[in-house]
Amino acid sequence: MGKVSAVSPLAPDHFPQLPVIEGVRFATIAAGVRYQGRTDVMLAVLAPGSTVAGAFTTSATRAAPVLDCQAKIGGVSEDGAAILVNSGNANAFTGKNGVAAVEAITAAVAEVCGISQSRVFTSSTGVIGEPLPHERVTAVLPQLQSKLDPEGISDAAKAIMTTDTFPKGAREEIEIDGKAVSIAGIAKGSGMIAPDMATMLVYIFTDAIVSQSALQKMLSRHTETTFNCITVDSDTSTSDSLILAATGASGVDASESDAFSDALYRVMLNLAHQVVQDGEGATKFVEIAVTGAATDEDAKIHGMAIANSPLIKTAIAGQDPNWGRVVMAIGKSGAAADRDRLSIRFGDIEVAKEGWRSPNYSEEAAAAHMKGQNIVIGVDLGIGEGKATVWTCDLTHGYIDINADYRS
């Protein structure tokens, strides 16, 4: 894999203490799928009755594990369930061999864990186009099963990493009708990050009772304004998988709870932000808030045009308040815009107003904002009520260093 020499400067100062989610147990192991000397396989086993929802990449070249998961989501939930993840090999663009690998792994997990194969979900992340040595995974399953631990989620976050520089976790604990409900999530992602999911694996667990249809509805809705609103490099992965599981162990039904839905959103947004903060080579976290667009959809199109512009991202890396490049990105996006109504801010500094450079523009003030780690670009189109917020990072030479020798 590409060289990752240091933890991202945008990383949180510590991994959160995630709550134990009753009804799910974790185990990790070093199977040697690609890496040596580190864990690279994670197993999570869910109690009978758990409901499972999912969101997956829209790539036309989806990997075999993604296709298998998509076929299984929404099935009956009386049985237990399991999630098996390997890092180092994406099992993507591997043809019938990839399908056979998924079949072998899911069958073996089902046998070892005593559950239906239709309730075994797998994910693979890493190099594309190389056959997955699935026998290395199936060989360690008995050991994994024997190590299952309700407190193993932090180790699971580490096992799914590839070029990530830090493990990612988020938590929420709320009360519904006076009873406690917990949510815990982990994620991996650093490069090949773009809307419609990215090179991300995300696993979120709750002890609430949530019907499968309600769980899927919440997940799909919140994905649109969290994981589908981030980008590192505009490249959409073959392997994105976001799986949400509700064990029901708390005895609290949250299927219609706005408080639960809001807490789930916060966990998803937290994890999405951490993925951007660990963008390959990133030194700055960038929020792009677009208002005044013709529609919300247009606002997002404009936001992503800005977020994915190499010219803007390199200017941010160089701490250059080159707002003319924002004008360029809006003009090329394809969404509705009127040059003479356009206004732009960097942080609190107005740099352009209604089609002109702001009369109060200060190069020094704008440059000072660009020196920070957290950059905010505000754009108002002035033509409607549409709005959207997206997040990205800068583009530095570190991105090249990591990806130029990714397979070595």
User: pLDDT grade, residue 300 (50/70/90)?
Assistant: very high
| CATH number 3.60.70.12 given to 24-277 | yes
Strand order in the sheet with 81-89: 24-29, 41-46, 81-89, 120-127
DSSP 273-332: HHHHHT-TT---EEEEEEEEESSHHHHHHHHHHHHT-HHHHHHHHTT---THHHHHHHHH
Pair type for strands 51-56 and 241-246 = antiparallel
The Cβ of residue 155 has, within 10 Å, a number of other Cβ atoms equal to 18
pTM for the model stands at 0.93
Give tens-digit pLDDT for 16-42.
999 999 999 999 999 999 988 899 999
CA distance linking residue 51 with residue 160, whole number of Å: 22
Q: How confident is the model at residue 362 (pLDDT cuts 50, 70, 90)?
A: very high
Q: What's residue 237's pLDDT?
A: 55
Arithmetic mean of pLDDT, 72-97: 91
CB contact at 8 A, 242 and 54: yes
* Greatest extent of the chain over all pairs of C-alpha atoms, in Å: 71
- Per-residue pLDDT, 193: 47
Give bridge partners of residue 377 from the DSSP assignment: 288, 346
- Residue 372: other Cβ atoms inside 10 A: 12
Distance CA 388, CA 393 (A): 17
CATH number (3.40.50.12280, 3.40.50.2000, 3.10.20.340, 1.10.10.10) of 285-404 reads 3.10.20.340
Average pLDDT over residues 373-393: 97
Which range among 13-22, 197-206, 390-399 has the greatest average pLDDT? 13-22
Q: What is the 3 state secondary structure string of 65-129?
A: HHHHHHHHCCCCCCCCEEEEEEEEECCCCCHHHHHHHHHHHHHHHHHHHCCCHHHEEEEEEEECC
Top pLDDT among 311 and 3 is at 311
- Is the pLDDT score of 3 beyond 70? no
Residue 1 has pLDDT above 80, yes or no: no
Q: What is d(CA 44, CA 156) in angstroms, rounded to the nearest whole number?
A: 8
The percent of residues in the chain predicted with pLDDT above 90, rounded, is 83
Least confident among 1-5, 157-161, 197-201, 222-226: 1-5
**Closest CA relative to residue 164, chosen from 186, 141, 184:** 186
- Whether the CB-CB separation of 239 and 122 falls below 8 Å is answered with no
The residue-averaged pLDDT of 105-130 equals 95
Question: Which CA distances in Å does 314 have to 203, 282, 400?
Answer: 32, 11, 12
Q: What is the pLDDT of residue 260?
A: 98
Q: Which residues are catalytic?
A: 199
3-class secondary-structure state, position 378 = strand
Specify the pLDDT at position 60: 83
Name the residue ranges covered by the structural domains of the chain: 24-277, 285-404
Structure tokens given for 208: 């609430």
Euclidean distance between CA atoms 126 and 50, whole angstroms: 29
Q: Which two tokens stand for residue 347?
A: 């942080």
406 pLDDT band, cuts 50/70/90, is low
Backbone angles phi, psi at 155, to 5 degrees: -65, -35
Residues 6+ apart with CB under 8 A from 335: 293, 294, 297, 298, 299, 301, 302, 305
Residue 198: pLDDT band (50, 70, 90) is: very low
DSSP SS3 for 336: coil
Tokens of 332: 């090329």
CA 144 → CA 82, 124, 282, 377, distances in Å? 12, 17, 35, 46
Residue 10 · residue 278 · CB < 8 Å: yes
Mean pLDDT of the residues in the chain: 92
d(CA 41, CA 107): 16
CA dihedral 226, 231, 232, 235 (to 10 degrees): 130
Nearest CA to 132 out of 159, 108, 158, 96 is that of: 96
Residue 405's Cβ-count burial label (10 Å; 0-12, 13-18, 19+) is exposed
Sign of the CA dihedral 384, 390, 394, 399?
negative
Tell whether the model's pLDDT for residue 305 goes beyond 80.
yes
Across residues 272-299, what is the average pLDDT?
A: 95
pLDDT at position 338 over 60: yes
pLDDT in tens, 38-74: 999 999 999 999 999 999 987 888 899 999 999 999 8
* Cα 74 from Cα 11, distance rounded (Å): 35
- pLDDT of 158 > 90? The answer is yes
